[in-house]
Amino acid sequence: MLKVAIQHENLTVDAEGHVAGHDAGDTLVRRLLRLFPGAQLVGPRTHRYADFDMVPLEMLDAENTILINMDVINSVDAWRALKATTDKPKIMNFVWWESTRYEEGVEMAELALSAALFPTFANSERTIRAIADAVRRWTVKPLAERAKIGGVNLGIRLEHVQPRNEPSTPVVLYPAIYVSQRKQPHQFIDIVTKVAKRTPIQVEARLSEAHLVSEPAMRLSRERWAKVGPLVPSRADYWKALARTTAFLATAEEESYGLEYIEALVAGAIGIFPDREWAHAILPERYPFFYKTSAQAEELLYKAVTDTAACRAELDKSTDGSFIGWLRDHHNDDNFEQAIAEHVTRWFGPVEVATLK
């Protein structure tokens, strides 16, 4: 039976020895640790934590271990390190971010070469297509023809969802923990500012520590109707906050999947989305709250916070029944766990997998 190791360079481990970060990468590491009992994490030094063992890459039992590498463009370097102790290193790429992360030619070529050389699992149907296209465009035909690419939508852990707790003043969420340019935070601020002038709202932004002192965060924090703060301390607190969120406004140019949006939607928040391919890919065909212009986004958000019940009825109508039910059917993380376990076994051989619920 083969073992599993996971490599993620930006991993956050707290003082108690748990993977404690709030971004999608840390969330996925926790999922993989649950799915593959006894999985190790690759780190700078050997250490035994409460939930896992950390082992330097060079000290892995490379003959009997599959490396799931979330730092995809470094897979060739990982292969060289493991080749020192085994003739056939076992490496699987895990592409869990948007395909436009790498825009420079050198980085795109590295990504394409890695996906051509090593089996690659992607976090959504859109990312599968993007990676396959990159392999065709940036590698030679013999490599492109041997590429193994699979994947599935990530989904969310539905058991975390908490009962709704409707706030007295509608809460509008900034649906990200970063204010990077791709998220277009200034467009978000411009739109919610106009809505706040028309009706009482409470805008909340919970940001990564490095982004709390950014210009967009400081701009938003100056508004009396806005609350900008650090990430909540636990996942339970995170879901508790979502249960009292009325609506959110998405302004990102590109997303590979949209984990934060799905979590907010399934918690009962009304999502206002840009009319972009990435948003259509995760929502029902007749989803009613897409915008093409900032003016349209303002009107939709105003409606969401002033006539929330009617908006929820529209969401149910778009799925001919229950919108939350549709989300649960289409974004259940059981599908992800089953798919990644099947791909690991198909590509490398049998591994121990936790009993899927």
Pick the CATH number of 3-155+333-348 from 2.40.10, 3.30.70, 1.25.40, 3.40.50: 3.40.50
3-state percent helix, strand, coil for the chain, nearest multiple of 5: 45, 15, 40
pLDDT of residue 258: 87
Tokens of residue 122, six digits: 């992607």
Strand partners, 67: 5, 91
| Burial of residue 278 (number of CB atoms within 10 Å: 0-12, 13-18, 19+) | buried
Residues 6+ apart with CB under 8 A from 289: 270, 271, 272, 273, 300, 304, 311, 314
Buried b vs exposed e over 247-266: b needs ≥16 C-beta within 10 Å? bbbbbbeebbbbbbbbbbbb
Give the CA distances from residue 22 to residues 12, 85, 159, in Å, rounded to whole numbers and listed in that order.
9, 35, 17
Mode of pairing for the β-strands spanning 90-95 and 120-122: parallel
Residue 311 CB coordination number (10 Å): 19
- Which tokens go with 14? 């707290």
Name the token pair of 278.
């990435």
Q: ∠ CA(80), CA(82), CA(86), 5° rounding? A: 115
Q: DSSP of 156-204, one letter per residue? A: B-GGG-------SS-EEE---S---GGG-HHHHHHHHHHHHTTS--EEE
Tell me the angle at which helices 24-35 and 259-266 cross, rounded to the nearest 10 degrees.
80
144 backbone dihedrals φ, ψ, rounded to 5°: -60, -35
Q: Give the pLDDT of residue 7.
A: 96
pLDDT value at residue 208: 87
Q: What is the pTM of this model?
A: 0.82
Q: What is the mean pLDDT of each run of 10 residues along the chain (357 residues)?
A: 93 80 82 94 90 93 96 95 96 87 83 96 90 93 94 84 94 94 95 98 94 95 96 86 97 89 95 96 96 98 98 96 92 87 96 80
Cα–Cα separations (whole angstroms), residue 74 to 46, 165, 231, 295, 333: 21, 44, 29, 43, 27
Question: 3-state DSSP call for residue 281?
Answer: coil
pLDDT of 357:
55
Please tell me the predicted confidence (pLDDT) of residue 356. 62
Sketch the domain layout of the chain as residue ranges. 3-155+333-348, 158-330
- Between the alpha carbon of residue 118 and those of residues 154, 239, 263, 350, the distances in Å are 21, 36, 31, 18
**Would 3-155+333-348 and 158-330 be classified into the same CATH topology?**
yes
**What's the CATH fold of domain 158-330?**
Rossmann fold (3.40.50)
Q: What is the 3-state secondary structure (H, E, C) of 62-82?
A: CCCEEEEECCHHHHHHHHHHH
